[in-house]
């Protein structure tokens, strides 16, 4: 794949985004999506030629720009948007998937200069360093190396000039609005874009990410089923992030595993990204497939903590109350809660039943008390309805005003769903959700193993403190 430099100027980046947005809007792509539990599927409206041309354009423009623009492309690439004929859908998705782990590479000589500017001569830090990146992400490239003490590490290095590039993107939010609106029209809300800008800018802070990853790694240290590689603090700088290296299989390889293995991995993905948010008041807002690995020791490993946020108790409590009301089909309770928090304007014409149906459309996979296989179609329907509730089933719910604080927590929920859809994992997700919705004990073997480990860990801490 050809090597490219990262354009950093506001004008050049903005003009690229503007042209891309205009091209997408001109295609007039529209869709009608089904609620979870309904039988109708989204209708195909995009022809093969324009579909593949659009995919190529997104990969070329966003992939070459890196930064926040590529992050936007990554969000799109995990969706199985039912906008194209089924015969060509796989080709479209594969093309977009290039944004996840096969982005255009920056020459190693330029990346080496970034490393040595922060850490000094490379042979003073690393005994071995493979110049071929193992991954190319939105902010930087990841390399495999070995420290002088023998530890195998992953070295994430920022693209030269990416800080300036991302800040240029943030000043060009109107172009993001146009691009994103061509896919998911209501995602161009100003408050939503401000929240996106704040979070993506924070992702540039490698020192913060190193501290976060160290904290989360400590939380999962010696966990029997989940692995979080620790950061190596002494070698983490403004532009370089060094962490333990995970030996294992990629998410693409996970997709080829037998169904029972994928179901097991799916439950652990759910527990890390969803249950963990309600247990710890923290969540990873970037649960795309490139951040999930199957380690050689059988544990599921999670990497990349640049978009790791906290969420207040009040917001989690509201989320729980709304979901519990939806599980009980209590439309009036949802309407009252949302009215009290300014999410629904009583003058808008949104009814209590509209609210109930919307919650079920977006979060019904947590609420349906039966085994459900998450398919790409189910995941995409939920994502699009959450960000663009103007499908025919929810025409009036466009007046919902979700607080900006929920933007990335909702993204964590929905993009966990898309990851599960990629591996078509099956579970009774409601039984997993009841642990954080109602504080009930786990009902699965994996859940009981985790609960026993947590209890033993608490006992060990208590004994040590006595």
Q: Which residues are catalytic?
A: 286
The residue whose two tokens read 């501290």 is 211
Nearest CA-CA partner of 155 in 287, 60, 245: 245
* Whole-number Å distance between alpha carbons of 273 and 284: 7
* Whole-number Å distance between alpha carbons of 189 and 386: 13
Give just the sign of the alpha carbon dihedral 374, 378, 382, 384: positive
In degrees, rounded to 5, the angle at the alpha carbon of residue 314 between the alpha carbons of residues 313 and 317 is 85
Q: Tokens representing 249?
A: 């299989």
* Whole-number Å distance between alpha carbons of 177 and 160: 26
Q: Extract the runs of DSSP E, i.e. beta strands, from 219-317.
A: 226-227, 240-244, 248-249, 282-284, 292-295, 300-302, 308-310
Angle between helices 313-327 and 331-340 (to 10 degrees): 160
Name the 3-class secondary structure at 415: helix
Q: Which DSSP string do the residues of 377-411 spell out, in sequence order? A: HHHHHHHHHHH-TTSGGGGGGGG----TTHHHHHH
- Kindly give, in sequence order, each residue whose CB lies less than 8 Å from that of residue 111, ignoring residues fewer than 6 positions away: 133, 141, 143, 157, 159, 160
């Amino acid at each position: 794949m050809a090597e490219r430099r990262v354009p950093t100027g506001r004008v050049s980046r903005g003009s690229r985004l503007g042209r891309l947005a205009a091209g997408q809007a001109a295609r007039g792509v529209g869709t009608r999506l089904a609620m979870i539990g309904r039988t109708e599927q989204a209708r195909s409206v995009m022809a093969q030629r324009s579909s593949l041309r659009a995919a190529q354009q997104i990969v070329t423009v966003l992939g070459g720009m890196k930064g926040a623009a590529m992050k936007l492309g990554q969000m799109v690439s995990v969706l199985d948007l039912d906008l194209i004929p089924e015969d060509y859908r796989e080709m479209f998705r594969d093309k977009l998937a290039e944004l996840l782990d096969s982005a255009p590479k920056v020459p190693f000589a330029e990346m080496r200069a970034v490393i040595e500017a922060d850490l000094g001569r490379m042979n003073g830090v690393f005994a071995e360093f493979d110049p071929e990146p193992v991954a190319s992400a939105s902010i930087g490239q990841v390399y495999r190396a070995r420290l002088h003490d023998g530890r195998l590490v992953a070295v994430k290095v920022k693209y030269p000039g990416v800080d300036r590039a991302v800040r240029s993107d943030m000043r060009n939010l109107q172009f993001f609005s146009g691009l994103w609106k061509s896919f998911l029209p209501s995602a161009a809300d100003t408050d939503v874009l401000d929240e996106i800008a704040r979070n993506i800018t924070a992702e540039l802070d490698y020192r913060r990410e190193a501290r976060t990853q160290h904290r989360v790694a400590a939380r999962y240290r010696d966990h029997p089923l989940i692995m979080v590689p620790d950061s190596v603090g002494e070698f983490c700088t403004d532009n370089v992030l060094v962490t333990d290296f995970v030996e294992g299989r990629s998410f693409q390889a996970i997709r080829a595993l037998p169904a029972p293995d994928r179901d097991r991995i799916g439950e652990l993905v759910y527990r890390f990204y969803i249950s963990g948010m309600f247990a710890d008041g923290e969540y990873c807002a970037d649960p795309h497939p490139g951040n999930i690995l199957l380690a050689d020791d059988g544990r599921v490993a999670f990497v990349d903590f640049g978009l790791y946020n906290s969420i207040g108790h009040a917001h989690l409590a509201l989320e729980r109350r709304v979901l519990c009301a939806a599980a009980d089909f209590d439309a009036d309770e949802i309407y009252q809660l949302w009215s009290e928090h300014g999410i629904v304007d009583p003058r808008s014409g949104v009814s209590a039943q509209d609210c109930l149906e919307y919650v079920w459309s977006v979060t019904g996979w947590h609420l349906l008390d039966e085994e459900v296989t998450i398919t790409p179609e189910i995941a995409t329907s939920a994502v699009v309805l959450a960000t663009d509730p103007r499908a025919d089933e929810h025409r009036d719910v466009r007046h919902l005003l979700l607080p900006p604080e929920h933007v990335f927590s909702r993204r964590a929920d929905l993009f966990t769903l898309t990851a599960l859809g990629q591996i078509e994992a099956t579970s009774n997700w409601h039984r997993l959700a009841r642990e954080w919705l109602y504080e009930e004990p786990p009902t699965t073997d994996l859940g009981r193993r985790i609960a026993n480990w947590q209890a033993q860990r608490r006992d060990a801490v208590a004994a040590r403190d006595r």
